[in-house]
Amino acid sequence: MIATGCCTGQGYPGTRFCAFDLGTIGAVEPSPSRIKVLLADDDPAYRESLRALVEEQPELSVVGQASDGLGALELADEVEPDAAVIDVHMPLLDGVTTIARLRRDHPSLCLIAITGDAEPTLLRAAEEAGADAVLLKAELVETLVDRLAAARSRD
- 1 part of a folded domain: no
- 37 part of a folded domain: yes
- 134 part of a folded domain: yes
- 14 part of a folded domain: yes
Structural domain range at position 148: 6-152
Number of domains within the chain = 1
CATH code for the domain of 124: 3.40.50.2300
- 91 part of a folded domain: yes
| Per-residue model confidence (pLDDT) at position 102 | 97
C-beta of residue 34 within 8 angstroms of C-beta of residue 68: no
Rounded-to-integer distance, Cα 101 and Cα 122, Å: 17
Could you say which DSSP state residue 1 is in?
-
Per-residue model confidence as pLDDT tens for the chain (155 residues) = 333 334 443 333 333 333 333 333 344 444 557 889 999 999 999 899 889 888 888 889 999 999 999 999 999 999 999 999 999 999 999 999 999 999 999 999 999 999 988 889 999 999 999 999 998 887 776 676 676 666 556 55
C-alpha distance across the termini of the chain, in Å: 26
| Per-residue model confidence (pLDDT) at position 54 | 86
| Per-residue model confidence (pLDDT) at position 129 | 95
- 132 part of a folded domain: yes
| Per-residue model confidence (pLDDT) at position 8 | 41
Rg (CA), the chain: 13
- 25 part of a folded domain: yes
Containing 55, the helix (H) or strand (E) segment is: helix 44-55
| Per-residue model confidence (pLDDT) at position 40 | 96
C-beta of residue 42 within 8 angstroms of C-beta of residue 90: yes
